[in-house]
Amino acid sequence: MFERLQKKWHVSGGRLLLILVTFAVGGSLTGIIGKKIMNLLAIGSTALYIPIYIIVVTLVWPFMVLTVSLFTGQFLFFRNYLSKLGRKIFNRKTPDSGTNPKHRIAIFASGAGSNAQKIIDHFRTIPTVKIALIVCNKPEAGVVKIAEKENIPFLMIEKETFFKGNAYVPELQAAGISFIVLAGFLWKVPQALINTYRNKIINIHPALLPKYGGKGMYGAFVHEAVIQAKEKESGITIHYVDEHYDHGDAIFQARCEITEQDTAESLAQKIHRLEHEYFPKVIESLLENKF
């Protein structure tokens, strides 16, 4: 049962425990508060007591679980959970339920997800493109909370299936994914996934390829290597993904100056600004002009 809940809610074992604790404590508090309210109402008729009690606890329960979730750190999960529950009860359609987007994007990320958030924000009002899935290989990554906050379906992947199994191709196809964006995803993309989405997977690299690319060249390692080499400029490269690290054809590059005062940390900030400015725009342009 617990494994089914983990897969259904896309959470780690630790988070599942906190969610279940929130449900339990919130339910107990709901019962206590509900009885106190009924005592204040002093309803003598049994025929009236039961339906009114049901209404009271139904109204109190969401507030109790949200309150408890603040202490268990699961507020975003329960906010989204209650939102979905409300739509089911009242048969409300989601804002994009009447649209049929031409492109359904999966964002693969391993970290905080700042690029993922910028991409989500950019396409929020573009009806032809939908961020349909967030894929991650680290349960503790910040992008998990972004997926919850944005109410975007989430897929947690593990190495055995990704590299030696079906590479989660069936799950991507079931979600209708037509295009994949790697936004700080640290695993090499397996051949099975490349074959299925040939020339439909792109990555952003924090340097001017072909320099400072390849295995092990990511994040701070790239910026440290650039600084140590006393380069005068660095930048970003958006490129197609093929069978080799940072090797696919370049789509776009943007540059920034490196001063004598720059460190790996300050260069990283410059690179992040370029990523946030250009990555969403390049994705939109690519989709409009090629697909």
- Hey, what amino acid is at 73? G
Which one of the listed residues 10, 103, 122, 205 is annotated catalytic?
A: 205
Q: At what angle do helices 75-90 and 13-41 cross, to 10 degrees?
A: 60
User: Of 57, 56, 54, 74, which Cα lies nearest the Cα of 66?
Assistant: 74
Query: Each residue's pLDDT tens digit in the chain (291 positions)?
Result: 777 776 666 567 788 899 999 999 999 999 999 999 999 988 888 788 899 999 999 999 999 999 999 999 888 778 878 877 776 676 554 444 445 788 999 999 999 999 999 999 999 989 999 999 999 999 899 999 999 999 999 999 999 999 999 999 999 999 999 999 999 998 999 999 999 999 999 999 999 999 999 888 888 999 999 999 999 999 999 999 998 888 899 999 999 999 999 999 999 999 999 999 999 999 999 998 776
Q: Is the dihedral of CA 101, 106, 112, 118 positive or negative?
A: negative
Residue 10 annotated in active site: no
Indicate the domain borders of the chain: 2-90, 103-290
Global pTM reads 0.68
Which CATH number is 103-290 given? 3.40.50.170
The pLDDT value given to residue 97: 44
Instruction: State the Cα–Cα distance between residues 291 and 283, nearest whole angstrom.
Output: 11
CB atoms within 10 A of CB 138: 15
The pLDDT value given to residue 47: 83
